[in-house]
Structure 1
């Protein structure tokens, strides 16, 4: 009975693309809000400011979208593999996505810290949903 319930859900790829789009838009909004502040702190104006803002918006959109898409794809895959819906799925997916996010630091300590923090945050958020 449990296996049939997971078989009827949307494919993991659709879940990942949906998360990429939604969180990419959130990253775009964050870039639009925080970009001008950072540009002002750097004293940018004119073409340099516009270029900086466009890069900042693009970076945040791709980063947030990629992180969200990876998390949801991994969580979906883990849920289908385990055939259970619980906090462990979010914890595993958050740890992997956090490690991927921390990879750009090239420090094993930072990768581990980012992995634990992201895993903890998404596990708490996912397990506190009312539905």
Structure 2
């Protein structure tokens, strides 16, 4: 299977991983929007400059959102790994929980929502590690 790897040296492994996560997952978010908007254009049977501009703005917004979440998570997981001195599923769980809490706290101040988002982030990150090991 072909792979695309882009490496930007930021001078520190934490920054390198964070930027790498932002770029890769941000590209996935943008590609998802591109596919969705292409489908809508094909379904309508027309493409206009307004449609194109709308799609491009949406791609940038989604790419930045997905990339930010991924960058924060990757940075958190790497930081936890360095602090704990171990590389295991617990880093993903803690990194996901901290990412969920941080991003939730940036949007709202509802304590229950922040806790729920932290639990969700930890669960998704942990599940992704376990699923990745099955493949």
Q: Under a length normalisation based on structure 2, what TM-score does the superposition of the two structures give? A: 0.72
Root-mean-square deviation (Å): 2.9
Normalized per residue, which structure has more helix? Answer: 1
- CA gap of 1:104–1:47, structure 2 versus 1, over 3 A, is farther
Equivalence for 1:129: 132
C-alpha deviations, 1:61-114, integer Å up to 9, x for none? 001111111111110111011001122211111012112332454152333222
Q: Under a length normalisation based on structure 1, what TM-score does the superposition of the two structures give? A: 0.74
Equivalent-residue separation in structure 2 for 1:36 and 1:107 (angstroms): 37
Equivalent-residue separation in structure 2 for 1:100 and 1:34 (angstroms): 29
Equivalence for 2:55: 53
Unpaired stretches in structure 2, ≥5 consecutive residues: 1-11, 42-46
1:119 equivalenced with 2:119 (yes/no): no
Shift of 1:48: 4.3
- CA gap of 1:21–1:47, structure 2 versus 1, over 3 A, is same
- CA gap of 1:127–1:28, structure 2 versus 1, over 3 A, is same
Equivalence for 1:89: 91
